[in-house]
Amino acid sequence: MPDLLKRPFGTHGKVHQITPESAGWRYVGFELYRLREGENASDVTGTTEVILVMVEGKARFTAAGKDWGELGERMSVFERTPPHCLYVPNGEDWTAKAATDCTIAVCKAPGKSGHEARRIGPEGITLTQRGEGSNSRFINNIAMENEDYCDSLLVTEVFTPAGNWSSYPSHRHDEDDFPRITYLEETYYHRLNPADGFGIQRVYTDDLQLNETMTVHDHDVVCVPRGHHPCGAPHGFDMYYLNVMAGPLRKWRFVPAPNVAHLM
């Protein structure tokens, strides 16, 4: 069975570290820090560009030779308010000092242009609805293809109400054939409310050579190397996920699963 479901390896400090090497792909990296007030996290971007997402809590940041001050506002991700984020290009370093207990996501992909470091949000990020009925969910786009300050990264947040589906109708982006479809690797960082809840994510190909259905819990990460990847939130449990995508072309083009294409 493919090792697509990544459980956190602790509840404090760095609790996820997914690299292209560990995931068996080429582009996407993802890390997660759960810090207590006063603690630090830092890294050097090297050949990657990075978007730091304040999932919860507040922290002070320095990056690319600049003091960015305190970022973060929401104390629970399920407040659904826009996130505070920081883009750091390749060839730079960053440091975060927790001003409160906080959760920081580190979204990584190849960087080459040395764009300027910059704040992202909360201004300019608006919660928008996608889908309807039991397929409705709410999106905070952090860095999708209309933003031109990234080389590779595509990053977005999704809030799925209890009892609803998202990343649905099932779709895939696993071929490099633009404009029909683009090859994008993807990670899903999951949160549940209440935190002792669970959700479901399936990852499968049309020929079912890959066909995995996973129970996801609070702070789990699912890797999607190829295939369709719908999520379900059971009645009683709201679901959040942070998506990180990257590939050879920074465009999001997908193809629906044949049996649900009529629902698009």
In CATH terms, is domain 5-263 a member of 2.60.120.10?
A: yes
Q: Residue 102 class from Cβ within 10 Å (0-12 exposed, 13-18 middle, 19+ buried)?
A: buried
Question: Could you tell me which of 233, 224, 32 has the C-alpha nearest to residue 138?
Answer: 233
Total Cβ atoms within 10 A of residue 70: 14
- For position 147, what pLDDT does the model report? 86
State the 10-residue block means of pLDDT for the chain, 264 residues long.
90 97 97 98 97 98 97 96 97 98 98 93 94 95 92 98 97 97 98 98 97 98 98 98 97 95 87
Q: How many residues does the chain have?
A: 264
- For position 114, what pLDDT does the model report? 81
Radius of gyration over alpha carbons of the chain, in Å? 17
| pTM score, whole prediction | 0.97
- For position 148, what pLDDT does the model report? 86
Residue type, position 54, single letter? M
- For position 166, what pLDDT does the model report? 96
At a CB cut-off of 8 Å and minimum separation 6, what does 72 contact?
A: 54, 56, 57, 58, 59, 84, 99, 100, 102
- For position 1, what pLDDT does the model report? 52
- For position 50, what pLDDT does the model report? 98
- For position 263, what pLDDT does the model report? 86
Q: Residue 222 class from Cβ within 10 Å (0-12 exposed, 13-18 middle, 19+ buried)?
A: buried
- For position 256, what pLDDT does the model report? 96
